[in-house]
């Protein structure tokens, strides 16, 4: 809105006749002043670039929550400001001469911001009533309402800080949904005027064609980026798993960590028993087969010896 106002003043200054040079210069000056007021908002807008960082996202959530919680403060402040404004304006106009409401409003705002002028109330608004009203305004705003605002800000900060991760994820999801491109926004610029000129069937075909044409290039680039270009994170994962094993392998504290809490127990079977049932990955496939054959041959030999021992007593009895 500020940029539009500055642009409108600039265009109005350029559209004036050259004879009205002073008025045109005044409009240009006002346009520059209005445009200068947009600088803080533009710099604050840069915070949205760093939404991906948790610290910045949580900070924005805290600020939004503080502004929402401060609604009670501003409601009380508005009600009290109207009453004190009416009182001081009436005291100013009691002698038949009023300096205008701007002076009263300026005095109240200065007192609210911590720079009260205690000389003007006794001179302009009549002694002692103006000074009493001005003292009351300073007491209620500086001591009571400001402390209420600080308490509301502290409560909002503590609420967000307790669930910082959840608040940040909800904030990031909301920003993602808000930034999602709507597929029907192109109608207002391309085919909306043709809606009442073409038949419904032709308009539907034109709509699909425009949709395919507009989104073909960006969707193709996104697909190529996600499928072909290696991201830094996935590249780090591939390098980690394709490289040498970590130095912690074989450490009993890493493989079988101890746990004092019963809730953290994964399995009641001992780690040594589980390892025995695992295949030996050091041996190759042929070595595994030879090892199994040796185990099988050993068992066959044991069975033959057992059968011979049982057969020997039977032969002795027959003799």
Identify which has the larger pLDDT, 237 or 43. Answer: 43
Looking at residue 180, its pLDDT comes to 62
Looking at residue 50, its pLDDT comes to 78
pLDDT tens across 56-67, in order? 888 888 888 888
- DSSP sequence for 19-69: T-HHHHHHHHHHHHHHHHTTHHHHHHHGGGGGTTSHHHHHHHHHHHHHHHH
Domain ranges for the chain: 2-37, 61-162, 185-227
| Rounded-to-5 percentages of helix, strand, coil across the chain | 75, 0, 25
pLDDT tens across 223-273, in order? 887 776 655 555 655 665 565 555 555 566 666 666 665 655 666 677 777
Q: CA 285, CA 85: separation in Å to the nearest integer?
A: 93
Looking at residue 274, its pLDDT comes to 75
* DSSP-derived secondary structure letter, 188: G
pLDDT tens across 96-138, in order? 666 667 777 888 888 888 777 777 766 667 677 778 888 888 8
Chain position carrying tokens 């002698």: 95
Looking at residue 257, its pLDDT comes to 66
Looking at residue 256, its pLDDT comes to 65
Q: CA 41, CA 197: separation in Å to the nearest integer?
A: 43
**Which SS3 state, helix, strand or coil, does residue 1 take?**
coil
- CA distances (Å), origin 156, targets 142, 144, 160, 163, 308: 21, 19, 6, 11, 87
Mean pLDDT across the chain, nearest whole number? 76
- CA distances (Å), origin 293, targets 256, 286, 287, 298, 306: 32, 11, 10, 8, 20
- Residue 189 has a CB neighbour count (10 Å cut-off) of 8
**Which SS3 state, helix, strand or coil, does residue 264 take?**
helix
pLDDT tens across 3-33, in order? 888 888 888 877 776 666 777 788 888 888 8
CA 194 to mean position of chain CA atoms: 40
Looking at residue 261, its pLDDT comes to 59
pLDDT > 90: percent of the chain: 0
């Amino acid at each position: 809105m500020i940029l539009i106002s500055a642009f409108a003043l600039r265009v109005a200054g350029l559209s004036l006749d050259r004879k009205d040079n002073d008025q045109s210069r005044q409009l240009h000056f006002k346009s520059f002043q209005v445009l200068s007021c947009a600088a803080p908002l533009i710099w604050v807008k840069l915070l949205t670039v760093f939404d991906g960082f948790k610290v910045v996202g949580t900070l924005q959530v805290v600020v939004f929550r503080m502004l929402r919680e401060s609604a009670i403060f501003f409601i009380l402040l508005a009600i009290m400001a109207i009453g004190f404004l009416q009182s001081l304006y009436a005291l100013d106009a009691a002698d038949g001469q009023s300096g205008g409401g701007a002076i009263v409003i300026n005095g109240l705002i200065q007192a609210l911001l911590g720079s009260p002028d205690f000389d003007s109330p006794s001179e302009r608004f009549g002694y002692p009533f103006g000074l009493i009203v001005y003292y009351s305004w300073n007491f209620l705003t500086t001591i009571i309402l400001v402390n209420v605002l600080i308490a509301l800000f502290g409560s909002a900060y503590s609420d967000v800080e307790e669930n910082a991760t959840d608040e940040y994820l909800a904030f990031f999801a909301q920003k993602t949904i808000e930034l999602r491109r709507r597929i029907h926004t192109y109608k207002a610029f391309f085919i909306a005027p043709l809606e009442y000129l073409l038949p419904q069937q032709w308009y539907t075909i034109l709509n699909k064609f425009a949709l395919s044409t507009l989104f073909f290039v960006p969707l193709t680039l996104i697909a190529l980026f996600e499928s072909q270009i290696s991201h830094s994170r996935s590249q780090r994962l591939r390098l980690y798993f394709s490289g040498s094993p970590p130095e912690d392998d074989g450490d009993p504290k890493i493989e079988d960590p101890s746990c004092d809490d019963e809730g953290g127990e994964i399995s009641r079977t001992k780690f040594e028993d589980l390892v025995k049932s695992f295949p030996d990955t050091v041996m190759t496939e042929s070595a595994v087969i030879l090892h199994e054959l040796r185990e099988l041959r050993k068992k066959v030999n044991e069975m033959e010896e057992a059968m011979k021992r049982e057969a020997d007593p039977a032969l002795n009895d027959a003799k």
